């Protein structure tokens, strides 16, 4: 491998980039190894592509972005690079695009992946992937784009695997046992006084950010009161038992329509067994763990909040609760400046299911608010949109713009399947309000 040139080293360490790429590919392979072969063409979530698509999409996206768009070189196989170009996010099942008549055999997809890996590693090791005269390559943009794209899809894969029947997947060797925990602490809140929250990032302050993270701006946030812990299964069970799913007054018009059309009466991760509830664990059904954060859609979270005479936090309130301090300064992470590690929260693929709320005191924010990073993304009441100064990213121009449609909501924080690099303060996630399959929870706030 050549020496790291000064210019490239400023933005991207070749050795670190190759290691990161290989670690991503290894984790993707491990995630696919959990599958029984007969699950390969399953479509566990009707609103997403079948599983086979993703094994082709990851390498094809990397080739399209770094090799073709970035370096201007030919790809490896034009057929694959079109077929596996983009995922889907249709409004409902009737809008799901038609699948190709037949997917290529798996052996061909794996062979394509191996060729793509060689091309990407060669590019990262030897090509000028930080050219300042190329908008796609400047500051290593295309390289970072592919390096963060893969772990984001690993999360997609895992919540898809979560929907598969238990006979179609198996736990990897040494997988940690679920921690059921007992009854959670009672619901408690803390007052966060009025103050400033910095949203987004400065271009020069982060090695890489997706386009929707820019530009940095400061907003004034009035005082509010926020739940210290995420809403738990036990809390949400009260809502279910109180008939919350049958009360139209608690739901938005859109949420009520979704609830009715899909006959939704409880969270998608719950299953009824007689008078009891079961949690659909990754590798085994579990008696509903009362202290785990409830995973629900935005519509369900909003209805619950209204039932409690409260509401979801705005994106700015999340920032204030997570990163603000009484001194007026802001932290990089809820706990301070140290990078994320296993003592701070349930993230970075350490587990395959959530853990009880409040399990990581070392991850609490300055106000004592817990689990803001990890154990489940947190829904906000903020519609996903561009920050002032937004510009589509040259390495992936439709990454965010396709979703600025008023129908997607910002999620912050991170889940058990969110990789450490994506835990940076400015990272934003978003989903449709009626999407119940993602590892997303919420907490409620009161105040103006
Ligand atoms: Fe993708």
pLDDT at 38 over 50: yes
Going from the Cα of 37 to the center of ligand 1, the distance in angstroms, rounded, reads 23
Residue 132 Cα distances to 149, 209, 211, 225, 330, angstroms:
22, 17, 18, 46, 32
Task: Kindly report, residue by residue over 337-375, the tens digit of the pLDDT.
Answer: 999 999 999 999 999 999 999 999 999 999 999 999 999
Instruction: Supply the pLDDT for residue 216.
Output: 97
Ligand 1 centroid distance, CA of 12 (Å): 22
> Measured in angstroms, how far is the CA atom of residue 262 from the centroid of ligand 1?
27
If you average pLDDT over residues 54-67, what whole number do you get? 97
CA 441 – ligand 1 centroid, Å: 23
Residue 46 has pLDDT above 50, yes or no: yes
Give distance in angstroms: CA of 63 to centre of ligand 1.
12
Ligand 1 centroid from CA 218, angstroms: 30
76 has a pLDDT exceeding 90: yes
Q: pLDDT at residue 434 above 50?
A: yes
Q: Does the pLDDT at position 4 exceed 80? A: no
Query: Quick one: tokens of 134?
Result: 């190329």
Nearest to 109 by CA among 133, 88, 81: 81
Q: 187 alpha carbon to ligand 1 midpoint, in Å?
A: 38
Please count the residues of the chain. Answer: 448
pLDDT at 98: 67
Condensed to tens digits (0 to 9), the pLDDT of residues 233-265 reads 999 999 999 999 999 999 999 999 999 999 999
pLDDT in tens, 365-409: 999 999 999 999 999 999 999 999 999 999 999 999 999 999 999
Residue 8, pLDDT score: 52
The whole model's pTM is what?
Answer: 0.95
**Residue percentage of the chain with pLDDT more than 70:** 96
Name 32's Cβ contacts closer than 8 Å, sequence gap at least 6: 55, 157
Rounded to the nearest angstrom, the distance between the alpha carbon of 52 and the centre of ligand 1 is: 13
Average pLDDT over residues 44-71: 95
* Residue 58 alpha carbon to ligand 1 centre in Å: 7
Q: What is the CA(85)–ligand 1 centre distance, in A?
A: 8
pLDDT on residue 179: 96
**Mean pLDDT of the chain, nearest integer:** 94
* CA trace torsion 226, 228, 234, 238 (10° rounding): -20
Confidence of residue 2 (pLDDT cuts 50, 70, 90): very low
Phi, psi (deg, nearest 5) at residue 393: -75, 135
Instruction: List the structure tokens of 407.
Output: 């129908």
pLDDT at 9: 59
Each residue's pLDDT tens digit, 122-175:
999 999 999 999 999 999 999 999 999 999 999 999 999 999 999 999 999 999
């Amino acid at each position: 491998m050549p020496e790291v040139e000064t210019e490239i080293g400023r933005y991207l360490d070749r050795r670190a980039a190759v290691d990161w790429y290989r670690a991503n590919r290894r984790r993707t392979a491990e995630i696919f190894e959990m599958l029984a072969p007969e699950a390969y063409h399953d479509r566990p979530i009707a609103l997403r592509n079948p599983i086979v698509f993703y094994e082709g999409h990851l390498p094809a996206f990397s080739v399209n972005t770094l090799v073709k768009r970035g370096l201007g070189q030919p790809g490896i196989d034009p057929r694959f690079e079109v077929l596996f170009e983009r995922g889907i996010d249709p409004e409902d099942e009737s809008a799901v695009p038609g699948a190709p008549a037949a997917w290529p055999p798996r052996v061909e997809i794996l062979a394509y992946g191996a060729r793509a890996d060689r091309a990407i590693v060669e590019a990262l090791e030897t090509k000028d992937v930080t050219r300042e005269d190329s908008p796609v390559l400047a500051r290593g943009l295309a390289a970072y784009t592919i390096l963060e794209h893969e772990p984001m899809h690993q999360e997609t894969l895992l919540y898809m695997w979560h929907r598969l029947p238990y006979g179609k997947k198996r736990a990897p060797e040494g997988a940690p046992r679920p921690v059921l925990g007992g009854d959670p602490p009672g619901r408690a809140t803390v007052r966060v006084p009025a103050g400033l929250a910095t949203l987004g990032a400065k271009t020069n302050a982060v090695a890489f950010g997706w386009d929707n993270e820019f530009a940095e701006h400061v907003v004034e946030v009035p005082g509010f009161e926020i739940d210290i812990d995420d809403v738990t299964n036990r809390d949400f069970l009260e809502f279910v038992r109180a008939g919350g799913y049958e009360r139209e007054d608690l739901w938005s018009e859109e949420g009520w329509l979704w609830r009715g059309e899909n006959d939704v009466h409880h969270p998608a991760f719950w299953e009824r067994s007689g008078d009891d509830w079961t949690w659909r664990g990754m590798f085994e059904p579990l008696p509903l763990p009362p202290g785990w954060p409830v995973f629900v859609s935005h519509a369900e979270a909003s209805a619950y909040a209204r039932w409690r005479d409260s509401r979801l936090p705005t994106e700015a309130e999340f920032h204030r609760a997570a990163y603000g301090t009484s001194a007026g300064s802001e932290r990089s992470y809820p706990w301070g400046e140290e990078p994320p590690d296993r003592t701070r929260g349930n993230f970075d693929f350490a587990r395959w299911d959530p853990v009880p709320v409040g399990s990581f005191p070392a991850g609490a924010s300055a106000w004592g608010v817990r689990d803001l990073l990890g154990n489940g993304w947190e829904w906000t009441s903020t519609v996903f949109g561009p920050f002032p100064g937004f510009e589509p990213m040259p390495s992936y121009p439709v990454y965010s713009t396709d979703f600025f449609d008023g129908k997607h909501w910002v999620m912050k924080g991170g889940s058990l399947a969110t990789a450490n690099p994506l835990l940076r303060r400015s990272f934003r996630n978003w989903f449709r309000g009626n999407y119940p399959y993602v590892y997303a929870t919420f907490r409620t706030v009161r105040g103006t």
